[in-house]
Amino acid sequence: MAAEPVNLNEFQELARLALPKMYYDFYAGGAEDEHTLKENVEAFHRITFRPRILVDVSRIDLSTTILDYKISAPIIIAPTAWHKLANPEGEVATARAAASCNTIMVLSFTSSSSIEEVAASCNAVCFYQLYVLKKRDIAATLVQRAERNGFKALVLTADAPRLGRREADIKNKMIKPQLKNLEGLLSTKVSSDTGSNLEADAREAMDASLSWKDLEWLRSITNLPILIKGILTREDAIKAVEVGVAGIIVSNHGARQLDYSPATISVLEEVVHAVKGRVPILMDGGVRRGTDVFKALALGAQAVLIGRPVVYGLAAKGEYGVRRVIEMLKDEFELTMALTGCPSVKHITRNHVRTEHERIH
C-alpha cells in the first residue's frame, strides 16, 4: 500500500503512479505553454500574512454559508470531467465524499456518472455545471433533470466557447469517453487516429455564439439560482451582476483554456471591488494549501473550489482519497486561522494578508 500522503501535492504523485499516462496528463495538463498553470499556484506563494497574536483561538469555527447552504468549511468541489477515468465509481464516489465532509459538489456537464446516479447515491448538496451546446434543447433537458433530482443551483461555465489547446492530449491522442448525461441526446464519436478529438468534438458541439443576452433565456428555463464561472475582469463581473446572476466564480478553468490568463488569485480583488458585495464571489485555480484558502477569503472570496486535487485523491484512493483531500485542506485552513488570530471565517479580513505590491513600512 502506498504511503499516506501528508499534503495535497503528495496526492498528485500518487495519482501519477496510479493512472495511465494519457489520463494523468489529461487531468494535470493546462493550455499551451502552461504559463497560467504554474502561475495559478505560484501567485499564492507571493502573498504573505499579517498574523495577529494574542487572540483567543481556543475554538475555531470554519463553517460558512453559500447560497443558504451551511457547509463545514469554505471549500467546495469544482466541476471536473470524467471521474471514472480516475476510479470506477466515478462521480458517485466524489459526491459521497462531499456528503461526508459536509460540503458542496459541482457536478460537471462532462461527467461519467449521470445526474440521477449522483442524486441517488447520497445526500450531498449538488450544483450542476452547464455548457450550452448548439442544440439548446439539450441544455434545457439537462437543467430540468438537475432540478428534478434536487440539484440546488446551476453553474454556467462561460470561458469555453472553444476548447483550449492542451498539447499533452494532442500528443497522447486522448480519447473522449462517454458523456453519461448526453446518452441518447447527442451522438458522440468514440475515437480518432489523428490526434486528440476533444477539441474538434467540442467545436462541433459547443455553442460559440452564446452571449450575455442568453442569460435571459437560461433564466427563463429554470428557477434555480445561476452562478457564472470563468470571470476574470471587473467589466464581466459588472455585467454578470447586471444580468442577475446569484454568484460569480473567478476562474480560468484551471489554466486549461487561455494560456497567459492571469492567475485567479491575482484578479480576485479586482472582481470583489467591482461587485461591491452584491453577489457572493467564489474562486478556483491553484488552491493546494489551507493557507491558500485563507488568502482567497482575505481577498474577498466567500469560498474556494478545488479541481485537480479532488481527482488526484479519487485516482489514488477512491472516495476515501477525496475525503482525505478535503479533510487535509480543512485541517490546514483551521491551523492557518489559529495562527493568524481568526476564530471564525468572519474574522478573516483584508488586513490579514499582504500582496507583493504592498510595501512593508
Site membership for ligand FNR, residue 290 (CB under 6 A): no
Site membership for ligand FNR, residue 291 (CB under 6 A): no
Site membership for ligand FNR, residue 80 (CB under 6 A): yes
Q: Which stretch binds ligand FNR (CB under 6 A): 75-83, 171-179, 205-213, 268-276?
A: 75-83
Q: In the complex, what is the shortest distance from the CB of residue 46 to ligand FNR, in angstroms, rounded to a whole number?
A: 16
Choose, by CB under 6 A, the member of 24, 44, 109, 128 that binds ligand FNR: 109
Choose, by CB under 6 A, the member of 8, 11, 15, 79 that binds ligand FNR: 79
What whole-number distance in Å separates Cα of residue 264 and Cα of residue 254? 9
Q: In the complex, what is the shortest distance from the CB of residue 231 to ligand FNR, in angstroms, rounded to a whole number?
A: 12
Choose, by CB under 6 A, the member of 36, 40, 64, 291 that binds ligand FNR: 40
Q: In the complex, what is the shortest distance from the CB of residue 177 to ligand FNR, in angstroms, rounded to a whole number?
A: 12
**In angstroms, what CA-CA distances link 180 with 81, 83, 117, 140, 212?**
11, 11, 10, 16, 28
What whole-number distance in Å separates Cα of residue 22 and Cα of residue 311? 14
C-alpha closest to that of 328 among 282, 286, 288, 296: 288
CB 309 within 8 A of CB 13: no
Burial class (CB in 10 A: 0-12, 13-18, 19+), 115: buried
- 253 as an active site residue: the answer is yes
- Who's near 274: CB < 8 A, 6+ residues apart? 234, 235, 237, 238
Give the SS3 label for residue 17: helix
CB 283 within 8 A of CB 301: yes
- Selecting among 253, 347, 352, 361, the annotated active-site residue is 253
Choose, by CB under 6 A, the member of 166, 176, 253, 317 that binds ligand FNR: 253
Please list every residue from 148 through 177 that binds ligand FNR, using CB under 6 A.
157
C-alpha closest to that of 145 among 173, 89, 177, 107: 107
Strands (E), 56-201: 64-66, 69-71, 75-77, 104-107, 125-130, 153-157
Site membership for ligand FNR, residue 308 (CB under 6 A): yes
Residue 57 or 330 with smaller CB distance to ligand FNR: 330
What whole-number distance in Å separates Cα of residue 51 and Cα of residue 83? 38
**Count of residues touching ligand FNR (by CB under 6 A):** 24
Q: Which stretch binds ligand FNR (CB under 6 A): 14-22, 57-65, 304-312, 335-343?
A: 304-312
Please list every residue from 209 through 238 that binds ligand FNR, using CB under 6 A.
229
Please list every residue from 178 through 207 that binds ligand FNR, using CB under 6 A.
none
Site membership for ligand FNR, residue 292 (CB under 6 A): no
Choose, by CB under 6 A, the member of 121, 129, 266, 336 that binds ligand FNR: 129
- Who's near 269: CB < 8 A, 6+ residues apart? 299, 300
Grid cell of 95 as nine digits = 459526491
- Count CB atoms within 10 A of the CB of residue 286: 28
Site membership for ligand FNR, residue 64 (CB under 6 A): no
Site membership for ligand FNR, residue 286 (CB under 6 A): yes
Residue 284 or 334 with smaller CB distance to ligand FNR: 284
- Kindly list the catalytic residues: 253
Interface ranges with ligand FNR (CB under 6 A): 26-27, 40, 78-81, 108-110, 129, 157, 229, 251, 253-254, 256, 284-287, 306-308
